[in-house]
Structure 1
Amino acid sequence: MAGDAGDSPFRFGEAIPAGTVLERPTPAWFTPDVPVEPPIPFAHVVLEITGRYVVVDKPHFLPATTNGRIVRETVQTRLRVELDNPDIVPLHRLDRLTAGALLCSADPETRAAYQSLFQRREVTKTYLARVVGEPLVGEEWTTIDLPMRKISGERVVQVAVGGVPTRTRIRRTGDRLVELQPVTGHTHQLRALLAHLGCPIVGDDTYPVDTGLDLADFSTPLGLVATRLQLVDPVDGRFRGWRSTHLP
């Protein structure tokens, strides 16, 4: 069932009150055809594992979860097989091309508690990006608000009036290095932001120019890493933080 797999917020057998308005199309059953997939030659590293969650250091090029084209070669599927746990589900988005710390739920009973942290924006996600050109920001944190719009059928996210509001904290940390903390979670938010500022990320195949999608091209890693993930555990109230070993 889609709920058991983490693809739907509703559990099997749960009654949905009449008149409930869904935020987006919500599947009830999800059984995709699984095509033949060549192996992705990069391995994740488990940073911590408990009965409630698994944290991994995701490599570049390995999707966190299925994107319709890749099913087997994902962090989710690999962990489910490796740990013999079909309930493992990534709790937040991390692009295929982005490396770094990824938190996954391993327990359906506590999953909603962790999901709510992300919904309430109570998780601090810190990224490090190596960029082309000198970023026009200083060493102190600056908050940038931009409207972004994802056009159906296109990979590129546009910075455009009338788009969804996004907020990002950013500062320079070195020569063509910037640290970022997204407050909102829009698709390609950091990549679109840096391209808009005139300093796109090294190795970006979409911003500022979409060069086309080649899932078998592992030659140029994206210079973006989710370096830290920090939160207060909703189950036991303890502060938890994880750090990636990857560098952009």
Structure 2
Amino acid sequence: MLRDVVPADREYWAGAAGDAPFPFGTPLVAGATLDRPQPAWFHPDVPPEPEIPFRHTVLFADEDLIVVDKPGFVPSTSNGRIVRETVQTRLRVEFGEDEIVPLHRLDRLTSGVLVCSRRAATRGSYQRLFQERAVEKLYVARVDGPVTVGPEWEPVALPMRKERGARQVTVGEGGTETLTWLRAVGPDTVEVRPVTGHTHQIRVVLNHLGMPIMGDDTYPVDRGLALYDYSSPLALRAVAVAFDDPHRGSRRVFRVGGAGGL
């Protein structure tokens, strides 16, 4: 929020507010006098980062959404350590749009379908779909060890807790209740439909059931954070996302890699 005078420390653009003296997106001239507080936005200085050598693929784009196939090792959004080499920043640069924001989150190591909003005007209604669990998601995981579920869909309810500063999520009394559906589709492969969206939910569930995901750096053993070690990819892929589009009035289904339907 700027007051009195537009600072000269960087470039600013007018933010949105009902009584703002400048239209949204107007460049604000350094030294200009402000007769009332003005919301503003700017591009923060971002230090150089090592390039992450994996690229996303755009699966779909219209005026409201961009859907990508996110590679493993690339964060969806900034995690405080990586800013430039995120899907969000890469898409903003690629499309020349500052409003692009992922509507949900995939772990840095997880690959697959990621749905992003490109317009603030419609973002809220899409975000509500995810908040209200009106979006169906399908994942495929290759596991280390024998598959401990059958070929029919089975619900798994577990309480989960993540302590501040800890990387691992634990299962135990007093945690947040989670619900995940699982079924075996091969000798080392499981399909997963998470209903809730707890941190590391799928990884925790499969590890708890004795079948940790291949390449997992946190379960069952926390091997430490190595942002630029690409030697052990996580074998977890978001293969499909489906929802009823509140603006198009139609069913949206986004898939990768020949995934089955939802």
Q: Which amino acid aligns with 2:179?
A: R
Match for 1:13 among 10, 17, 25? Answer: 17
**Residue in structure 1 matched with residue 146 of structure 2 by the alignment:** 134
Aligned length: 226
Match for 2:164 among 131, 152, 169? Answer: 152
**Residue in structure 1 matched with residue 27 of structure 2 by the alignment:** none
How far residue 165 of structure 1 moved from its aligned partner, in angstroms, is 0.4
Q: d(CA) in 2 for partners of 1:174 and 1:33?
A: 48
Question: Do the aligned partners of residues 29 and 193 (structure 1) sit closer, same or farther apart at CA in structure 2, a change above 3 Å counting?
Answer: farther
**Residue in structure 2 matched with residue 21 of structure 1 by the alignment:** none
8 Å contact kept, 2:55–2:71: yes
Q: d(CA) in 2 for partners of 1:191 and 1:35?
A: 32
Q: Which amino acid aligns with 1:210?
A: D
**Residue in structure 2 matched with residue 198 of structure 1 by the alignment:** 210
**Residue in structure 1 matched with residue 194 of structure 2 by the alignment:** 182
Question: Do the aligned partners of residues 75 and 144 (structure 1) sit closer, same or farther apart at CA in structure 2, a change above 3 Å counting?
Answer: same
Q: d(CA) in 2 for partners of 1:32 and 1:69?
A: 14
8 Å contact kept, 1:99–1:246: no
**Residue in structure 2 matched with residue 43 of structure 1 by the alignment:** 55
8 Å contact kept, 2:77–2:83: yes
Question: Do the aligned partners of residues 246 and 94 (structure 1) sit closer, same or farther apart at CA in structure 2, a change above 3 Å counting?
Answer: farther
Question: Do the aligned partners of residues 204 and 112 (structure 1) sit closer, same or farther apart at CA in structure 2, a change above 3 Å counting?
Answer: same
Percent identity over the alignment is 57
Structure 1 residues 91-170: aligned runs within 5 Å: 91-170=103-182
**Residue in structure 1 matched with residue 71 of structure 2 by the alignment:** 59
8 Å contact kept, 1:225–1:246: no
TM-score, normalised to structure 2, is: 0.82
How far residue 135 of structure 1 moved from its aligned partner, in angstroms, is 1.9
8 Å contact kept, 1:57–1:245: no
Q: d(CA) in 2 for partners of 1:79 and 1:29?
A: 19
Question: Do the aligned partners of residues 206 and 32 (structure 1) sit closer, same or farther apart at CA in structure 2, a change above 3 Å counting?
Answer: farther
Greater relative contact order (Cα < 8 A, sep 6+): 1
Q: Which amino acid aligns with 1:93?
A: R
Q: Find runs of 4+ consecutive structure 1 residues off by over 4 angstroms.
A: 28-33
Match for 1:241 among 239, 249, 253? Answer: 253
Structure 1 residue ranges without an equivalent (≥5): 2-10, 16-27
**Residue in structure 2 matched with residue 228 of structure 1 by the alignment:** 240
Q: d(CA) in 1 for partners of 2:181 and 2:85?
A: 32
